[in-house]
Amino acid sequence: MEERELIRKSSSEWASPLVLVWKKSGDLRICVDYRWLNARTTKDAHPLPHQADCLAALGGNAIFSAMDLTSGFYNIEMAEEDKKFTAFTTPMGLYEFNRLPQGLCNSPASFMRLMMHIFGDQNFLTILCYLDDLLVFAPNESVALKRLELVFSRLRSHGLKLAQKMPLVTSECAVSRPRD
């Protein structure tokens, strides 16, 4: 993370501990326990999309393209004066984040605000944004392609990249019926 400049050495008077959390896959994830900091933070009230609004927007569409941004919250640079609050302890010393970390109570609201800045005029009309997940929807293939071009153009102009995932492969299956 230091080599990728996501974090840097710190001399902050703030420090949160590292914790290990088990993933569903059985792997361990290193997290920063920001509970103490979050309890002292003024909460950002920027809303996340409501599930019912998302479902209502999808009606009448037949083509859906799901995308996930790479690096999630790390797409947002921390303000220099706020980096000290993200400091965390490691066996190698004290570090702080240069980019927005997960675990801060206002990280989701900050990221959603960025997505609304980029796609707000299209949200619920041609795309659904939920943090770093994007769902482009359209009634037919030609409209879907135009909408995808718009999304890719905006992502490119803001320096955001999509995560690479394995393509979903489907095939038709014949259902066998029991014999008489």
Alpha-carbon torsion, ordered 136, 137, 141, 146, to 10 deg: -50
Burial class (CB in 10 A: 0-12, 13-18, 19+), 155: middle
What is the helix (H) or strand (E) element at residue 117, kind and residue range? Answer: helix 107-119
Supply the pLDDT for residue 100.
95
Residue 30: count of CB within 10 angstroms of its CB: 11
Which residue in this structure is represented by tokens 């004066």? 81
pTM: 0.80
- Residues 59-115 pLDDT 10s: 888 999 999 998 889 989 999 999 999 999 999 999 999 999 999 999 999 999 999
| CA separation for the pair 35, 104 (Å, rounded) | 8
Over the chain, what is the mean pLDDT? Answer: 88
- pLDDT of the residue at 154: 96
Please tell me the predicted confidence (pLDDT) of residue 167.
Answer: 53
- Contact by Cβ (8 Å): 124, 57: yes
Confidence of residue 152 (pLDDT cuts 50, 70, 90): very high
pLDDT in tens, 33-66: 999 999 999 999 998 888 888 888 888 889 999 9
How confident is the model over 145-171, as a mean pLDDT? 82
83 φ, ψ (degrees, to nearest 5):
-60, -35
pLDDT of residue 174 exceeding 70, the answer is no
The pLDDT of residue 165: 65
Mean pLDDT to the nearest integer, 123-152: 93
